[in-house]
Amino acid sequence: GENVEQHPSTLSVQEGDSAVIKCTYSDSASNYFPWYKQELGKGPQLIIDIRSNVGEKKDQRIAVTLNKTAKHFSLHITETQPEDSAVYFCAARITGGGNKLTFGTGTQLKVEL
């Protein structure tokens, strides 16, 4: 089955700096890669996603890049703000895999003032 690795597990940045979180996946049949933000005691919220036919997608301060050859994708947050502090999860979905998402292990992002 699919295996998704995520790094780093914790990330501390100064307000205004950029944050990058990286994920790798194992199954080349994966075709959809969402990123979720989870605040304490809440369910995950989709912040951005990318499909396998696209290399990059941007939404204001958030961007995701996908390298299918290397089987990795990254989340980029620019001009970080304290409210960006949360746990971020990457995920991957395999075509024909029952539409199941396989999640990475999560990154605790802390934006310091």
Partner 1 sequence: GAVVSQHPSWVICKSGTSVKIECRSLDFQATTMFWYRQFPKQSLMLMATSNEGSKATYEQGVEKDKFLINHASLTLSTLTVTSAHPEDSSFYICSASRQGTGRNYGYTFGSGTRLTVV
Pairwise CA distance, residues 89 & 23, whole Å: 9
Binds partner 1 by CB under 8 A, chosen from 5, 18, 46, 61 = 46
57/14 Cα distance (integer angstroms): 24
Please give the Cα distance from 111 to 64 (Å, whole number): 19
By beta-carbon proximity to partner 1, the closer residue of 98 and 113 is: 98
Judged by DSSP in three states, 28 sits in coil
Q: Compare residues 57 and 78 and give the one whose CB is closer to partner 1.
A: 57
| The only residue of 89, 92, 109, 111 in contact with partner 1, by rule CB under 8 A | 89
Structure tokens at 71: 């089987």
96 binding partner 1? (CB under 8 A): no
* Residues at the contact surface with partner 1, assessed by CB under 8 A: 32, 34, 36, 41-46, 49, 89, 98-106
